[in-house]
Amino acid sequence: MDSSIHLDNIVMQFGDFTAVQQLDLNIESGEFFSFLGPSGCGKTTILNMISGFLQPTHGNVYIGGQNMQGVPANKRPTSMIFQNLALFPLMSVAENIEFGLEVRGIKKAARKKTSDRLLELVDLADSGNKKISELSGGQKQRIAIARALAVEPQVLLLDEPLSALDLKLRQHMRNELKELQRKTGITFIYITHDQGEALTMSDRVAVMSAGKLQQVADPITLYRQPKTIFAAGFVGENNAIRGRVTDVNAENITLDCGELGLLQGNNPGNLSRGEEATLFIRPEHISLDHEQHTNQLSARIEEINFEGSYLTLVATAKNFVKLTVQISSDQYLASMVPHSEIRLSFNPSEAIVIAGGED
Ligand code: ATP
């Protein structure tokens, strides 16, 4: 079944305010697709336009090739799971799951068959008669999913459904959601401001900022090749160093980074001499071996955070550029204390250079 989605240049305006700007995007049938961005960037508004709770000011939403203009929410092949789950506390678990089917006039026996099957799918086979209050946070989460799946949606819309759970359960539920998506083959559209969630579960991620699409890519590409300053700073920890282009060759680009001197990064192909740019280097790509790479820096340690198998050092270079360096715990030396100097280097091929300065 075609459960692809095409957002055809959709715009959402609330009065003078544009919450979503000219969004043109295809989501494939059976894809786990996430919208990732900070609070207020327009994620829920997009979900509401797909589900039919909001009509776009301009543009059209297509689901399975059908234009959804004028199709009310309850007639769309979508189901939504809200942040607060919105389970009915006075109904049993099975009644919650069967609710959407009852509204559609499906007979009791058929409803029970569906709820039994879904309870099994979410690993709660014996919980149908329980009250909602008897369930743990993670179990409630699974019932909300089962209820959303009962009406056999082609597209499941998930609005930050894990945000109320504690960290451990959240991590566990990430795997469960991904597994469930594989088992059902339904298109999942997930919104979150948590990059860890988006990167671990999604086939592709759309990074949003202020109503605008920044980049759409698979998680590895997004991490390794961010295309905008916003995406480079928002997806994963990243060190940003501003500079001006002084030299460009086939592979590398050289930036004059003021007091930090000349630093080289990967040539992005769209910059010429004199232009402002920002160089990004991941904490795990900075080495404590000063001689190892062409780009060399000295910095003063501000903080040392032991994270188990690795350490993060927060340091400042020339008193103004904050750098985070991640090293394996084996590399820890007793001399690494706050206020001590470290000498660092990084490889130009691992540094991404993006046009413009940081906001
Ligand atoms: P969060 O992660 O906090 O839920 P979000 O990315 O989902 O944020 P939206 O809820 O889509 O953001 O809101 C985007 C912007 O549109 C916000 O600035 C919000 O204040 C505004 N907005 C949303 N709904 C309305 C409305 N009905 N009327 C006016 N402004 C609105």
Q: What is the ipTM of this complex?
A: 0.96
pLDDT at residue 42, rounded to an integer: 95
pLDDT attached to residue 222 = 96
DSSP assignments along 9-58, one per residue: EEEEEETTEEEEEEEEEEE-TT-EEEEE--TTSSHHHHHHHHHTSS--SE
Give residue 248 CA to ligand 1 midpoint distance, Å: 42
pTM for the full model?
0.89
Give the number of other Cβ atoms within 10 Å of residue 199's Cβ.
18
Identify the three-state secondary structure at position 198: helix
Residue 37's pLDDT is 96
* Torsion of Cα atoms, 113 then 82 then 192 then 71, to 10°: 80
Asked if 77 contacts 155 with a C-beta cutoff of 8 angstroms, the reply is yes
Positions of the chain with pLDDT under 50? none
Ligand 1 mutation target, pool 17, 45, 163, 193, most atoms within 8 A of CB: 45
The preferred substitution site among 11, 16, 17 for testing ligand 1, maximizing ligand atoms within 8 Å of CB, is 17
Check if 42 has its Cβ closer than 6 Å to any atom of ligand 1. Answer: yes
Q: Residue for token digits 């460009």?
A: 248
- Does 19 contact ligand 1 (Cβ within 6 A)? yes
State the pLDDT at residue 176. Answer: 82
- Nearest Cα residue to atom 27 of ligand 1: 14
Q: Distance, CA 231 to ligand 1 centroid (Å)?
A: 20
Q: Report the pLDDT value the prediction gives residue 359, as an integer from 0 to 100.
A: 54
Instruction: Name which residue sits closest to atom 30 of ligand 1, judged by CA.
Output: 14
pLDDT value at residue 166: 77
Question: What integer pLDDT is reported at residue 40 of this predicted model?
Answer: 93
CA torsion through residues 215, 221, 223, 225, sign: negative
Compute the distance between CA of residue 123 and CA of residue 105 in angstroms, rounded to an integer: 27
Tell me if 157 sits within 8 A of 51, measured CB to CB. yes
186 vs 155: CA distance, rounded Å: 6
**Distance of CA 56 from the midpoint of ligand 1 (Å):** 14
The mean of the pLDDT values for the chain is 91
Work out which ligand 1 atom sits closest to the CA atom of 48.
Answer: 11
pLDDT of residue 145: 87
Instruction: Please name every residue paired with 328 in a beta bridge, in sequence order, or none if there are none.
Output: 310
Ligand 1: does its nearest atom lie under 6 Å from the Cβ of 192?
no
Domains of the chain: 5-229 (3.40.50.300), 237-355 (2.40.50.140)
Q: Whose CA is nearest to atom 31 of ligand 1?
A: 14
- Indicate whether residue 38 lines ligand 1 (CB < 6 A): no
